[in-house]
Amino acid sequence: MHRSQLTIDLGAVRRNIRRLIAALDGADLWAVVKADAYGHGAVDVAGVALSEGARTLCVVTLAEALELRAEYPTARILVMSPLLPAEIARAREAGLEITVVDADIPEGVRVHIKLDTGMGRFGLSELLSAPGGNVVGLMSHLATADCDLEFARVQVERFRQLTEPYAGLIRHIANSAAVLHIPEASFDAARCGIALYGLSPFGSDPADDGLEPVLRWESRLAQVKQLQPGESTGYGRRFVATEPTWIGLVPVGYADGFRRDMTGTELLIQGQRRPVIGTVSMDSVAVSLERELLVDTPVVIVGDGLLVEDHARVAATINYEITCGICSDRRRARRVIVDA
């Protein structure tokens, strides 16, 4: 019996893509499926994205791109980080498109030149005077589209000025947050990741922007016991009962992606939110119960209105990090794909 179950709803992916395409108002949607589609399954999500009109699949590593190439022989695939010379040769053979962040433009492969307009990471600060014939795109990346629209718009204008002489090339800078809140950033295409998965780029309720969560995570109560006053649960005795307290042990821990800093978050049990108490272990977590419940009572970790964003706030992190960290090893979690 599996310790937990991850359910990925490809129907929700479809609806999120349609929402983004409508917001793009004519610009192309490029689906970012790096990091195994932020933990949702790159091959499955890529197939849905292509069927719903995504023009390009975006990844970060050559290995990610080659996995998708094997499944989707004709898809346009962009590797968004610089590659080693040996990797460029393999990318050329596989018909991939690559990102270049300096003045060295390789031959025989379709290239997107990355400009640094304010992120302060990879990219050129000025565009080459005459991009080569195999340069097909100009790109940049927004640093604050989720939190500082003023600076994001400064970046968009810098990008516009730098690339205007080459408007015949594909220009792309927008991410999910920009598609939803900065329409002028879309240019020819937008690289959307987090919103595909029904996760808010702003750390708020995804429904605020018409998005629908794709991931559901469930487990069960593996043991139920009552602590007496003075008794504790978990490493370090971080929770000590001050009165008779029923607790349930859920067989999910930080090895499964339920992080140690998520102590204090809530889980759904019989429709009620119940607090996680004590220290999160590698393989289990304790939850405070109102009363004695049966072993095998279902526990919802994500779903039914309990959001990844709720857990992220407790852990003082972002929703991206939560889903990327969920373990999908079939020896620990059952993975179910639906298209509802």
- Three-state secondary structure call for residue 315: helix
Annotate 131-140 with b (16+ C-beta within 10 A) or e (fewer).
Answer: beeebbbbbb
Instruction: Determine whether 114 is an active site residue.
Output: no
**Burial class, 37, CB count within 10 angstroms (exposed 0-12 / middle 13-18 / buried 19+):** buried
Both tokens of residue 88?
Answer: 């460029």
Catalytic residue, candidates 38, 114, 235, 320: 235
Does residue 177 sit in helix, strand or coil?
helix
Q: Which of 34, 38, 114, 254 is catalytic?
A: 34
Please determine, for residue 16, whether its predicted confidence score (pLDDT) is greater than 90: yes
pLDDT of residue 2: 81
> pTM score, two decimals?
0.95
> Which amino acid makes up residue 267?
L
8 Å CB contact between 309 and 233: no
Q: What is the DSSP letter of 189?
A: E
271 CB-near residues (< 8 Å, 6+ apart): 304
The pLDDT tens digits for 215-244 are: 999 999 999 999 999 999 999 999 999 999
Rg value, the chain, Cα: 23
Does the annotation mark 34 as catalytic?
yes
Q: Which two tokens stand for residue 314?
A: 């407790």
pLDDT at 132 over 80: no
Chain segment 179-189, per-residue pLDDT in tens: 999 999 999 99
